[in-house]
Structure 1
Amino acid sequence: MTVCTRFAPSPTGYLHIGGVRTALYSWLHARRLKGRFVLRIEDTDLERSTPEATAAILEGMEWLGLHWDAGPFYQTQRMDRYREVLAQMLAAGSAYYCYCSKEELEAMREEQHARKEKPRYDGRCRTRHEPRPGVQPVVRFRSPDRGETVVEDLIHGTVRFQNAELDDLIIARADGTPTYNFCVVVDDWDMGITHVIRGDDHLNNTPRQMQILQALGATPPVYAHVPMILGPDKQKLSKRHGAVSVLEYREEGYLPEALLNFLLRLGWAHGDQEVFSIAEMIDLFRIEEVHRAASAFNPEKLLWLNAQHIQALTAAELAERLRPYLLREGIDAACLQAGPDLEAVVLALRERAKTLVEMARGALFFYRAPTEAVTADRDKHLRGRAELLQKAAALLGELPSWDATSLHDALQSLAAAESEGKLGKIAQPLRVAVAGCAVSPPLDQTLAILGREESLARLRRALAWTE
């Protein structure tokens, strides 16, 4: 049997991290077992589904690298198939037309409530074969009256549902459109889905879906219902916690592999290991090892993991990832081409940067000379330091070789002459002079990357800031 999993989002909103974790678990399960991963867009909610949301889902999946083997399939394009299966079930007697009016159903619920019974459809139309004038019927599934439906869930274990508690589910509305539970069943059947990995808010739908599949003569897939993600305060995850579009994480400078690493660990562990490559995720993940309890979203942990993945990239890879963020900050392609080597810049910045946005902003001074220093840094480090800047420019200008080692030695000699060997006392004014602020990579490294001509020009320009 070839393992086949699926991710089936509804395009009624953005793709958020809860959906991404479900997609990730499904993708990893299929990849480890050399199976197939299907993407299906469940867009039957015509009022709320939008093309923009569909496009955002596809873009998010592509950015994350969760590439699908089949699809995307769209439920709105499969209506003929749903009608075919509905007709099959009506002919076989596993489904029937229900002509009950809204008033009749309401009266039924009130009577059950008065008897302190659980409100449920009592099946009165099972034996009714004549249409009722003025009533457009729905189609209901004939649920088993006795016994139980057992879900052997890979995460929650054995979950039993008493069939007597499950009433006859509507599988097609009065206007003929099929309902969610019915479409899902037909899709999973037709697409050969062997494992359904989804949020545990769907667990109560599972016995009904299994019953419909069994009525069609199909074998139900294996189910695994993943617990929800909570906010840091243990409340339901919301926008204030980070339940935003996954593409917002891209905009904020997170790496896709870092976000996937973070979501992998929300409910699953492999010893004490925290950082995983994509290859390790595929090799080590087991859906059966996912915890039953809900997990809490920790933004600080995500930021830490992002920094780890930034440091793990090669200089060439990191430069390519950073380039779009520099363009967004206004550094055009020509400037990047003519300016300092981008790989050298990212090597200087990556130890401290937690996001690509932070790194891009920290890299700006390499490609755009500051027109003035940050006021607080200027007042603290440059006021009265004109003589230091002049001596530094003269000393550095005479260096026969412009490299980090030579620059370091020259700065040490300047510190010995000007500040009793305390490099920090001369480094900060010089750093403000070339970078426009008191934060930059090590000064010798910064000067080496900027180059002799640019560094000396900035030192001379900074003399005006000392006034």
Structure 2
Amino acid sequence: MTVKTRFAPSPTGYLHVGGARTALYSWLFAKNQGGEFVLRIEDTDLERSTQAAVDAILEGMTWMGLDWDEGPYYQTKRFDRYNEMVDKLLAEDKAYKCYASKELLDEIRAEQEANKEMPRYDANHPKIKAVNDAAKDGDPCVVRFRNPKQGSVVFDDQIRGRIEISNSQMDDLIIRRTDGSPTYNFCVVVDDWDMGITHVVRGEDHINNTPRQINIYEALGAPVPVFAHCAMILGDDGAKLSKRHGAVSVMQYRDEGYLPNALNNYLVRLGWSHGDQEVFSREEMIEHFSLSAISKSASAFNTDKLNWLNNHYIKTSDPEYVAKHLEWHLDNQKLSTENGPAITEVIKLVGERCNTLVELVEQIRYFYEDFAEFEAGAAKKHLRGVAKEPLELALSKIEAVSDWSTEGLHTVIAQVCEELEIGMGKIGMPLRVAVTGGGQSPSVDAVMQLVGKDRVISRIKMALDFIAEREANAQ
């Protein structure tokens, strides 16, 4: 048997974090088992489904690298198939037409609540029976599945273990609406059957749907998949993850500067573990993943840990990979890298200092763009009269240097310190402010090597002019 999993989002909004983790788990299990992964768009909610949401889901899946082997399938293009199966159940008396109006059902529900009874649909209720007996062909009706009245539905959840639900707790759910459109719980079953789905990985909010769907699988004579229901994700404060916790859309994490490999690594550990290992390559995730290792307890989202992981991936990933995902941020912040050093070299130098790609763009701007003024605090502290002589000597040596390398520039700085008998900070910090415009950067010799000789010379002269003007104004 070929293992086949599916991710089946409803296109009523973006791809949220909980859905992304479900997709990741489903994808990883298929890959671990040498199976196939199907993408299905469950768009039967015609009023709320939008093409923009479909596009957002596809964009999010693509950005995460969760490629699908089949699909995307769209439920709205399969209505003929669903109705064929509804008619089959009608013909076999496993489903029936119900003509009771919504108003009548609301009235009966109110009576049940007033009598402290469990509100439920009962085909044998006198009022419902009377309406159905009096109905004529062509009258508006829904089709309801004839749920078994005896026994229980039992299934072995791969995360939660044995689950048993009595059939007496389930009523006859609607499988086709008055307008002729099939309903979610029915479409899911037909899809899983037709697409050969063997394992269903989804959120715990679907546990109540599972026994209903199992009864429909069995009524159709379809194989019942294996189920695994994942616990929810909580925010840092222990409440259910929502918009108020910040980024909950996958593409918002892209916008805030996270790498897809970092987010995948974070999400896989948000409810699954393999010993004490925290960092997993894509290959390691596939190799070690199993449904049985998923926790049945809710997981709390921790932004600090995600930032730590993202920093790890920025500084340890192939610079080409980081550069590929940095492109969007460079365009978004309108920073061109055409006039400057190779972006991969800059990433290698600056990347380890940044938690996000947004920070990375902010910290590399001086490699590609000249600045009109220095950061006020850094200039006030380091571009003072005492820095004039060290900067002038450094300038003369830099103008004459033939070995424009990190090592050659380090030698220049060492020579300035030796000749003027000063510590490294007396020239290193003024040089840093002069060349970068601010007081924070990697090693100044490495920075100068990438900034380039002409720009370094020009900026040191600009710093000396700043000092001269400062001294003139002080008199």
Q: TM-score, with normalisation over the residues of structure 1?
A: 0.95
Q: 1:285 to 1:450 in 2, by over 3 A?
A: same
- Equivalent residue, structure 1, for 2:424: 423
- Equivalent residue, structure 1, for 2:279: 275
Amino acid at match of 1:345: V
How many angstroms does 1:399 deviate by? 2.4
Identity %: 52
- Equivalent residue, structure 1, for 2:391: 389
More displaced, 121-130 or 157-166? 121-130
More displaced, 300-309 or 378-387? 378-387
Aligned length: 463
Instruction: Mark the runs of 5 or more structure 2 residues left unpaired by the alignment.
Output: 470-475
Give 3-state SS (helix, strand or coil) of 1:350's partner: helix
Instruction: Please tell me whether the aligned partners of residues 6 and 26 of structure 2 are also in contact (alpha carbons under 8 angstroms).
Output: yes
How many angstroms does 1:130 deviate by? 5.4
Runs of 4+ in 1 over 6 A off after TM superposition: none
Equivalent residue for 2:258, pick from 240, 254, 259: 254
Amino acid at match of 2:186: F
Partners in 2 of 1:85 and 1:281 — Cα distance?
Answer: 39
More displaced, 310-319 or 176-185? 310-319
Alignment of 1:39-78 (within 5 A): 39-78=39-78
How many angstroms does 1:424 deviate by? 2.0
Q: 1:50 to 1:103 in 2, by over 3 A?
A: closer
More displaced, 347-356 or 237-246? 237-246
Equivalent residue for 2:412, pick from 390, 410, 413: 410
- Equivalent residue, structure 2, for 1:24: 24
Alignment of 1:187-266 (within 5 A): 187-266=191-270
Is residue 119 of structure 2 the alignment partner of residue 115 of structure 1? no
Amino acid at match of 1:427: G
Partners in 2 of 1:452 and 1:104 — Cα distance?
Answer: 84
Q: 1:243 to 1:202 in 2, by over 3 A?
A: farther
Give 3-state SS (helix, strand or coil) of 1:268's partner: coil
More displaced, 277-286 or 338-347? 338-347
Per-residue Cα deviation, 1:198-225 (whole angstroms, up to 9, x for no partner): 0000000000000011000112100000
Give 3-state SS (helix, strand or coil) of 2:355's partner: coil
Partners in 2 of 1:104 and 1:48 — Cα distance?
Answer: 26
Partners in 1 of 2:28 and 2:129 — Cα distance?
Answer: 44
Instruction: Please tell me whether the aligned partners of residues 197 and 226 of structure 1 are also in contact (alpha carbons under 8 angstroms).
Output: yes
Partners in 2 of 1:407 and 1:355 — Cα distance?
Answer: 30
Partners in 2 of 1:243 and 1:452 — Cα distance?
Answer: 42
Instruction: Please tell me whether the aligned partners of residues 247 and 253 of structure 2 are also in contact (alpha carbons under 8 angstroms).
Output: no
Give 3-state SS (helix, strand or coil) of 2:164's partner: strand
Partners in 1 of 2:268 and 2:200 — Cα distance?
Answer: 17
Is residue 312 of structure 2 the alignment partner of residue 308 of structure 1? yes
How many angstroms does 1:350 deviate by? 1.6
Is residue 148 of structure 2 the alignment partner of residue 157 of structure 1? no
Instruction: Please tell me whether the aligned partners of residues 11 and 50 of structure 1 are also in contact (alpha carbons under 8 angstroms).
Output: yes
Amino acid at match of 1:178: P
Q: 1:133 to 1:341 in 2, by over 3 A?
A: closer
Partners in 2 of 1:280 and 1:458 — Cα distance?
Answer: 47
- Equivalent residue, structure 1, for 2:472: none
Is residue 115 of structure 2 the alignment partner of residue 136 of structure 1? no
Q: TM-score, with normalisation over the residues of structure 2?
A: 0.94
- Equivalent residue, structure 2, for 1:363: 364
Give 3-state SS (helix, strand or coil) of 1:83's partner: helix
Give 3-state SS (helix, strand or coil) of 2:6's partner: strand
Partners in 2 of 1:417 and 1:233 — Cα distance?
Answer: 58
Partners in 1 of 2:381 and 2:434 — Cα distance?
Answer: 12
Equivalent residue for 1:327, pick from 322, 328, 331: 331
Partners in 1 of 2:204 and 2:449 — Cα distance?
Answer: 56
Partners in 2 of 1:327 and 1:166 — Cα distance?
Answer: 54
Q: 1:203 to 1:427 in 2, by over 3 A?
A: same
Partners in 2 of 1:86 and 1:329 — Cα distance?
Answer: 54
Instruction: Mark the runs of 5 or more structure 1 residues left unpaired by the alignment.
Output: none
Partners in 2 of 1:343 and 1:181 — Cα distance?
Answer: 50
Per-residue Cα deviation, 1:411-467 (whole angstroms, up to 9, x for no partner): 12323444x542123211111111111111110101111222221121112222222
Instruction: Please tell me whether the aligned partners of residues 44 and 76 of structure 1 are also in contact (alpha carbons under 8 angstroms).
Output: yes
Per-residue Cα deviation, 1:39-87 (whole angstroms, up to 9, x for no partner): 0111111111111110011011111100000000111111111111111
